[in-house]
Chains A and B, each alone.
Chain A
Amino acid sequence: MGQLFGTNGIRGVVNQDMNAKFCLEISSAIGTYFRKKFSSPKIAIGTDARLSNSMLRSAVAAGLLATGCKVVDIGIVPSPVVQYTVKKKDFSAGIIITASHNPPEFNGIKVIAEDGTELSKEIEDKIELIYFNKEISLVDWQEVGTYNQYNDAIDFYRQNILSTIDVELIKRKKFHIVLDCGGGAGCTVTPKLLKDLGCEVTCLFCRLDGTFSGRNSEPLIKNLSELLKKVPEVNADFGVAQDGDADRAIFVDENGKYLLGDKTLALAAKYFTKRNKGGIIVTPITSSSCVNDVVIKYGGTVIQTAVGSPIVARTMIDNNALFGGEENGGLIFPDFQYCRDSMMSILKIMEIMAIEDKTLSELISEIPHYDMFKIKVACPNDIKKTVLKQMEENIEIGKPTRIDKTDGLKLYFREGWVLVRPSGTEPIFRIYSESDDPKQAENLAFEFKEKIEEIISKNRN
């Protein structure tokens, strides 16, 4: 399984593998599944700003209607807005048409469960079975679903998100923010939301633009040169960039310094643990140890999961976690909803800044610093399992203090840690290493790169 659904829904190039006919068929498989589960399923559809959003929305709507599902079109909205709407407005499921931060020729489909979280792998597999086994079940004319629009998803989301934070406190600070929506779905909500909080907003790429002509949709440092320049230029308190579907936020401090996602993740984790005097924080094993450091310091526990935001969310629910998130800027705030939400991230960082009464760079300087190193190693998909097993059997290298096999192989040493994990989407292994000494981090990474390359070439024949 997992032929269609990757780690982030189904993705492809528009009018090639991600075409209207395919969407019609896969949405019928999705509808078939939900029609079996619910007697009268009602499914919301939201899209990001990509150029093919109308075409794919129509195809998905048609496929769902044909299997007897009611469809509600909620328009161009950030992914977290779809998820919030599904959870709070009694939907059986939701579909987000987005390819997040991929280049503009891509688009994709993500399925959301009735509680607003991303669909589990188990159910995605069931849907794929329906699709591949041609078990799609179209209903007769009397039972074809109805199509409606709901135009208030954004307002409903905005009203509710404001009720989770101290609005007056933030208003008093009169923050000046440089907001870079990257032309993505964040444009529809974020500028207004920030203005509701009394912020002065300098906008970059805040008009919907499915060609991403302003900047690449992924908020990597190399794509944010304008933002990095603008923040100090206008004396803003901070800057923030959203990805294409606005579930991830990357911050820039008042000096124009790009802040790695780990840092803002740790900042929020510290805040929640400290305020609660303990509690559970959830994050994937790829996150920096700085998160563990701050959480443990304030009496909390960290649960490390395999990579994938649905896994983080589910683990948070199962463990009644305080907070969770990934190192890529995707933060999850259980008080609001169990999914990554860049708007909530921005509001929460502002709230922390307001409560602590410190600049963002000051707050970040209080987080322990580690250097991370990342490398990719090519490896054919069919031998990944064998290679990993053999890596595990050869662990004497450097005698690790701890071993974690949650997702790939993570080894802790005195000087830091290294993680070797097979990519879910590409024919590669990813090696991550971290240390408070950048040279050590690099050495660790290359050491394990060598080792795994050996094993890979042994197994190629």
Chain B
Amino acid sequence: MSNTISPHIFRAYDIRGLYNKDIFPETFYYIGASAGTYLKQDLGGKHLTVGCDIRKSSPTLVHSFIAGVTSTGVDVLFTGTTSFGQTLFKGWKKNQDLISFVTASHLPPEWNGIKFYYGDGVGLPEEELMKIRDYTLKNSQTLSNWQEIGTVTQTESNKDYSQFFKDRCSFKNKLRVAIDCGGASMTLSAPEVFANVGLEVIPVFCEPDPLFSKRPSDPKPQNLDVLIKKVKENNCDFGVAFDGDGDRSVIVDNSGKILSADQTGIIIGKLGNLNKGTVIVNVECSKAVKEQLEPLGYRIKQIPVGHTFLTLEAKKENSPLGIESSGHLIIPNYFLFDDAIVVPLKIAEILDNTKLSLSEIVKEIPIYPTRKEEIPCPDEIKFDVIDKLKRKLSEEYSDTNLMDGIRINLENGWVLIRCSNTSPVIRLTTEADSEKIVDEIITDFKEKTEEIIKQVK
């Protein structure tokens, strides 16, 4: 058994590490006791829901976690092995104070971790997760006395979840959708939900496989060959690939083209019959989002990169849609949490109500050239450099956003300059109307950044 807990398993949005190297069952016991302490002392609550994904190490970690939570006097609703969405749904429906899910999302199978949400479906912001971290690292959990030890109720997570979508989705046409679950946790929910609502399912890697041997759990373009082939072979209306736990999706159109998160979000905003409110996007999003959605009556609000911001802001702004460039999309009309199943269901709904194919719809959305560059910058000074850049550039330019690094919106493009949280680099991201303009912007701002780095050094 490990005795010390490595602080680096606590990331900004979740906890993660290599099983039997960084995280042990004992670690999750302490995290559970910390989560319970946080729930009781900081939230004044008593009810926590937890489930786990299909990773091999999940059973021992989730049960240690539960032991820790109950030791503080918090009652646990245990959903078992589920997709991310199924557990979040149960916790949300049952008005729990905290919902947790044991998973390492899209990381390889030897990893595991856990993430936390409030009962309304909003992800725990970084500063709240740090409270759980602090209770853990300081070993300052509060255990209850024997009369108040928490109880564990086991519950199934399929029926209500499936019914929820059956009640909300009905199709006039029999659409054909290829579903790539990657052998991961979505195998437990997506095929059944899709079949239940009346879609014809072409399954790809829909057998649970905790070794992720069929494809890596990250639905990156290079991992989607089989899905693309199946979409074309079977004349599917579209295809969808999910990541390891089911909080991210990637859409493939009927011609086999992979859509970006921004494109998917734009299509849903344009044709998804949503309320015209504030759409939440992050500072890396394409300018096409604003161009396509503002004319329809939406307001666009940019937030920092990181999916926990997405749910929090969407709740604050009562948004109809949230788009994260990494592939988290939320459609709060269903619920706030980022259960990726809503995306393909919405796309199916859109296709059901138009004569156009998805590829035809996508053609109408402009794609602008983008570029990413990294400038080496020592960890000790990178935040300083960004601060100075913020001050300097916000004086020089009028349309800036300082939430996460600095994004400057120019006439025919934009640039985003921010620190990497994990590496000694400063990242530049650019999008513009043409490659030529991209070149110009990158060169210009690379110079400006390197200038400041030199100054600070």
Q: Hey, which chain B residues are within 8 Å of A142, CB to CB?
A: 56, 211
**Which chain B residues (12-26) contact chain A, with CB distance < 8 Å?**
19-20, 24-26
With contacts A15-B145, A51-B147, A52-B149 taken as known, whether A141 is within 8 angstroms of B67 at the C-beta atoms is no
Contact B109 A58 (CB under 8 A): no
Contact A144 B59 (CB under 8 A): yes
Q: Hey, which chain B residues are within 8 Å of A140, CB to CB?
A: 19-20, 110
Contact A15 B149 (CB under 8 A): yes
Interface centre among B19, B60, B149 (most CB of A within 10 A): B60
**Which chain A residues (140-168) contact chain B, with CB distance < 8 Å?**
140-147, 149
Contact B211 A62 (CB under 8 A): no
A54–B25 alpha-carbon span in the complex (Å): 17
**Which chain B residues (65-98) contact chain A, with CB distance < 8 Å?**
66-68, 70-71, 76
> Which residue of B29, B112, B152 is within 8 Å of A21 (Cβ)?
B29
Task: Identify which of A23-31, A189-197, A337-345 touches chain B.
Answer: A23-31
Contact A62 B109 (CB under 8 A): no
**Which chain B residues (128-156) contact chain A, with CB distance < 8 Å?**
143-147, 149-152, 154
CB distance from A77 to the nearest CB of B (A): 15
With contacts A138-B24, A141-B55, A141-B57 taken as known, whether A59 is within 8 angstroms of B146 at the C-beta atoms is no
> Which residue of B33, B60, B146, B149 is within 8 Å of A66 (Cβ)?
B60
Q: Hey, which chain A residues are within 8 Å of B33, CB to CB?
A: 20
| Interface residue? A130 (CB, 8 A) | no
Contact A65 B60 (CB under 8 A): yes
Bitwise, A50-82 to B at CB < 8 A (1) or not (0) is: 011011111101110110000100000000000
Contact A59 B67 (CB under 8 A): yes
Q: Hey, which chain B residues are within 8 Å of A23, CB to CB?
A: 67
Closest chain B residue, CB of each to CB of A106: B146
Size category of the A interface is 35 or more
CB distance from A185 to the nearest CB of B (A): 16
Contact A15 B67 (CB under 8 A): no
Closest chain B residue, CB of each to CB of A105: B146
A23–B66 alpha-carbon span in the complex (Å): 13
Q: Hey, which chain A residues are within 8 Å of B149, CB to CB?
A: 14-15, 51-52, 54-55
Contact B56 A55 (CB under 8 A): no
**Which chain A residues (161-190) contact chain B, with CB distance < 8 Å?**
none
Q: Hey, which chain A residues are within 8 Å of B217, CB to CB?
A: none
Contact B25 A55 (CB under 8 A): no
Contact A55 B147 (CB under 8 A): no
Q: Hey, which chain B residues are within 8 Å of A143, CB to CB?
A: 56
A28–B56 alpha-carbon span in the complex (Å): 17
CB distance from B110 to the nearest CB of A (A): 5
A31–B63 alpha-carbon span in the complex (Å): 15
Contact B20 A141 (CB under 8 A): yes
A21–B26 alpha-carbon span in the complex (Å): 7
CB distance from B286 to the nearest CB of A (A): 38
Q: Hey, which chain B residues are within 8 Å of A52, CB to CB?
A: 146, 149
A58–B61 alpha-carbon span in the complex (Å): 10
Contact A59 B64 (CB under 8 A): yes
With contacts A20-B70, A147-B63 taken as known, whether A63 is within 8 angstroms of B25 at the C-beta atoms is yes
A25–B63 alpha-carbon span in the complex (Å): 13
CB distance from A73 to the nearest CB of B (A): 9
| Interface residue? A41 (CB, 8 A) | no
Q: Hey, which chain B residues are within 8 Å of A13, CB to CB?
A: 146
Closest chain A residue, CB of each to CB of B58: A144
Contact B146 A141 (CB under 8 A): no
A14–B143 alpha-carbon span in the complex (Å): 10
A19–B72 alpha-carbon span in the complex (Å): 11
Between A and B, how many residue pairs show CB distances below 8 Å?
118
Q: Hey, which chain A residues are within 8 Å of B25, CB to CB?
A: 24, 28, 62-63, 65-66, 138
A316–B33 alpha-carbon span in the complex (Å): 45
Contact A15 B63 (CB under 8 A): no
CB distance from A324 to the nearest CB of B (A): 35
Interface centre among B63, B66, B112 (most CB of A within 10 A): B63
Q: Hey, which chain A residues are within 8 Å of B147, CB to CB?
A: 51, 211
| Interface residue? A279 (CB, 8 A) | no
Contact A141 B110 (CB under 8 A): yes
Q: Hey, which chain B residues are within 8 Å of A14, CB to CB?
A: 146, 149
Contact B57 A19 (CB under 8 A): no
A20–B74 alpha-carbon span in the complex (Å): 14
Contact B56 A54 (CB under 8 A): no
Contact B109 A141 (CB under 8 A): yes
A61–B60 alpha-carbon span in the complex (Å): 7
Closest chain B residue, CB of each to CB of A75: B154
Q: Hey, which chain B residues are within 8 Å of A25, CB to CB?
A: 1, 26
Q: Hey, which chain A residues are within 8 Å of B144, CB to CB?
A: 15
Q: Hey, which chain A residues are within 8 Å of B71, CB to CB?
A: 15, 19-20, 55
Q: Hey, which chain B residues are within 8 Å of A55, CB to CB?
A: 66-67, 70-71, 149-150, 152
Q: Hey, which chain A residues are within 8 Å of B24, CB to CB?
A: 66, 138
Closest chain B residue, CB of each to CB of A134: B1
Interface centre among B24, B57, B67, B145 (most CB of A within 10 A): B67
With contacts A15-B71, A21-B29, A141-B110 taken as known, whether A54 is within 8 angstroms of B57 at the C-beta atoms is no
Q: Hey, which chain B residues are within 8 Å of A65, CB to CB?
A: 25, 59-60, 63
Contact A62 B70 (CB under 8 A): no
Q: Hey, which chain A residues are within 8 Å of B57, CB to CB?
A: 141, 144
A136–B24 alpha-carbon span in the complex (Å): 13
| Interface residue? A104 (CB, 8 A) | yes
CB distance from A207 to the nearest CB of B (A): 15
Contact B67 A58 (CB under 8 A): yes
Contact B59 A145 (CB under 8 A): yes
CB distance from A114 to the nearest CB of B (A): 22
> Which residue of B59, B109, B152 is within 8 Å of A54 (Cβ)?
B152
Q: Hey, which chain A residues are within 8 Å of B28, CB to CB?
A: 62
Closest chain B residue, CB of each to CB of A145: B59
Bitwise, B22-54 to A at CB < 8 A (1) or not (0) is: 001110110001000000000000000000000
Contact A54 B151 (CB under 8 A): yes
Contact A59 B63 (CB under 8 A): yes
Closest chain A residue, CB of each to CB of B146: A14
Q: Hey, which chain B residues are within 8 Å of A136, CB to CB?
A: 1
Q: Hey, which chain A residues are within 8 Å of B68, CB to CB?
A: 20
Contact B1 A15 (CB under 8 A): no
CB distance from B184 to the nearest CB of A (A): 15
A52–B144 alpha-carbon span in the complex (Å): 11
> Which residue of A54, A139, A141 is within 8 Å of B70 (Cβ)?
A54
With contacts A24-B26, A62-B25, A140-B20 taken as known, whether A15 is within 8 angstroms of B146 at the C-beta atoms is yes
Q: Hey, which chain B residues are within 8 Å of A61, CB to CB?
A: 59-60, 63
Contact B1 A138 (CB under 8 A): yes
Interface centre among A25, A142, A146, A211 (most CB of B within 10 A): A142
Q: Hey, which chain A residues are within 8 Å of B154, CB to CB?
A: 149
A149–B33 alpha-carbon span in the complex (Å): 25
> Which residue of B63, B146, B211 is within 8 Å of A58 (Cβ)?
B63
Given contacts A25-B26, A58-B70, A211-B147, 18 further A-B contacts (CB under 8 A): A19-B143, A28-B1, A51-B151, A52-B146, A52-B149, A54-B66, A54-B150, A54-B152, A62-B25, A62-B59, A62-B61, A62-B67, A138-B25, A141-B55, A141-B110, A144-B56, A145-B60, A149-B154
- Identify the B interface with A (CB < 8 A): 1, 19-20, 24-26, 28-29, 33, 55-57, 59-61, 63-64, 66-68, 70-71, 76, 109-110, 112, 143-147, 149-152, 154, 211
A-B pairs, 6 with minimum CB distance: A54-B152, A59-B67, A62-B63, A65-B60, A14-B146, A55-B70
Question: Can you name 20 A-B pairs with beta carbons within 8 Å?
Answer: A19-B71, A20-B67, A24-B25, A24-B67, A51-B147, A52-B146, A54-B70, A54-B76, A55-B149, A59-B64, A62-B29, A62-B60, A62-B61, A62-B63, A65-B59, A71-B59, A140-B19, A141-B109, A142-B211, A147-B63
